[in-house]
Structure 1
Amino acid sequence: MIEGVNLKDSGADNVVDLSGAGRCLNSEIVVAGNNNKIIVGQGVSLVNVRMQLLSNGNIVEIGSGCRITASIIMKLVDNNSITIGAGTTIGGCNFICGEGTAIAIGNDCMLAWNLEVRTTDSHAIIDVASGERINCAADIVIEDHVWVGAHATILKGAHVGRDSVVSIRSVVTDKFHESGLVIGGAPARKLRSGINWQRPLLG
């Protein structure tokens, strides 16, 4: 096992591959279900990471060169997945993925801190007249090279196009397929188009 990661696996037929990980510090992986898979790419940094896979058939894949501080919880129904593309950095995020849904984050994204990304509300809201549930879970997609500002929330069904920026404290509930957007607000809306961003400051 990798130094800096405390692994607790009480399930069966789980695969946890941390062989390529780089710096790991104060992190914990708890796997209570069966047939789960966690794959960490080359040179990945895990700092204060908490993973809880409490159902079956879940997949967590972290691409090479990522630097991550996050909590990942999969406990509501089986067969959920989270994929994080190569070179993505996450300063502090709670990922909650349930009801058989997926979170897909692209390459070279920059997610700030105190973020919430969740595909499920964890509890049902029922329409009284029909008796039907009205808040079903849905996948989340964040395409390549997206910057998500601090305190933002990305909710079920959201989609953010590549090269875009999600403003601080935004609540994203809609699909923004267009690339190069600034989106912001609660709920978030398109504020500007035709932009790109870079990690180093100009000048």
Structure 2
Amino acid sequence: MKNINGQGNEITIILPHKKIDCISSHHEQFNQIIHQSHIIITGNNNHVSMHFDSEENVEKLLLNEGFLLIIKGNDNTVNLGTIILRYSNILGMSGLKLIIGQLPGLGAGVSRVANNCRVDIGNRLVINGVTLYLQEDKSNVSIGEDSQLSWGIDIWCTDAHTITNLKGEPINFAQSIEIGKHVWVGKDVKIGKNTKIPDNSIVGWGSIVTKVFNEPNIILAGIPAKIVKRGINWDRRCINKYLLE
């Protein structure tokens, strides 16, 4: 495949009753979908697993203009659960851009590589417009099941450039971003490296998350984000439907 370059790379589609290796197998239908998709891998021993409820949803996601997966580096792992991806130019919903290593459009002479990174995205996620970027080696990002992410969201497990102390030693290494289960992330939120958003929580519109929060059932808001309300939970339904049902 022209969009998959290197040795030992794997793309696995996991359906309820079967598992398909899309690179080494001769399953023409899924090989063609991967070939036509916006999945680009350059490097060795990268592993991508994607879960789907049906074969119809495989094509629906992977051929969606709003789905982009780029890996440049070695020994990276991406586990993608069942997600609902929304893409609309009119509303500004950009779908999901998941990038490990090289950001597209950086221009000639700029090459960035990330190795041994891991991304785990749980089941039953609704994603409207998210860019998820890992650049530092051994970075990890996890998003728990049943979460909802609005649009205009940037999740960057890197500062992209180096900050040093006065001895010239780097001080801004990336480690991880953890978004818990059943988390609602509002529009235009930015989530930086080495942060945690706990289960059953909400991040308010336009907030910037810069640190670890451990207490569940909270609302975070502000720049930088802080706890503004405790003892809450949320539901996908609007209030009218919630009250009726």
Aligned 8 A contact 2:114 2:134 in 1: no
Match of 1:50 in 2: 68
Match of 2:38 in 1: 28
Aligned 8 A contact 2:143 2:180 in 1: yes
What TM-score does the superposition give when structure 2 sets the normalisation length?
0.74
% identity of equivalent residues: 30
CA distance, structure 1, for counterparts of residue 146 and residue 125 of structure 2: 4
Secondary structure, counterpart of 1:89 in structure 2: strand
The answer on 1:177 being equivalent to 2:203 is: no
Unpaired segments ≥5 residues, structure 2:
17-32, 86-94, 102-112, 241-245
Secondary structure, counterpart of 1:50 in structure 2: strand
Match of 1:8 in 2: 3
The answer on 1:153 being equivalent to 2:190 is: yes
The offset of 1:162, in angstroms, is 0.4
Give, as a single letter, the amino acid of the residue that structure 2 aligns with 1:9: I
Q: Kindly report which structure 2 residues correspond to 1:120-135, keeping only aligned pairs within 5 A, or say none.
A: 120-128=158-166, 130-135=167-172
The offset of 1:19, in angstroms, is 5.3
Unpaired segments ≥5 residues, structure 1:
1-5
Aligned 8 A contact 1:173 1:187 in 2: yes
Give, as a single letter, the amino acid of the residue that structure 2 aligns with 1:34: N
Q: Kindly report which structure 2 residues correspond to 1:1-150, keeping only aligned pairs within 5 A, or say none.
A: 8-18=3-13, 20=15, 27-43=37-53, 46=61, 47=64, 48-64=66-82, 66-68=83-85, 69-75=95-101, 76-99=113-136, 100-128=138-166, 130-150=167-187
Match of 2:232 in 1: 195
What are the superposed Cα offsets for residues 112-143 of structure 1, whole Å, 9 maximum, x if unpaired?
Answer: 11110011112101122x22212111200000
What are the superposed Cα offsets for residues 151-198 of structure 1, whole Å, 9 maximum, x if unpaired?
Answer: 000100110010000001100011111111000111100000000000
Higher fraction of strand = 1
Could you tell which deviates more after superposition, 191-200 or 98-107?
Answer: 98-107
Greater C-alpha Rg: 2
Give, as a single letter, the amino acid of the residue that structure 1 aligns with 2:96: A
What TM-score does the superposition give when structure 1 sets the normalisation length?
0.89
Aligned 8 A contact 2:74 2:116 in 1: yes
The offset of 1:18, in angstroms, is 3.0
RMSD: 1.9
Match of 2:22 in 1: none
Question: Hey, which bits of structure 1, 4+ residues long, moved more than 2 A?
Answer: 18-21, 43-47
Aligned 8 A contact 1:153 1:169 in 2: yes
Aligned 8 A contact 1:126 1:133 in 2: yes
Match of 1:3 in 2: none
Higher fraction of helix = 2
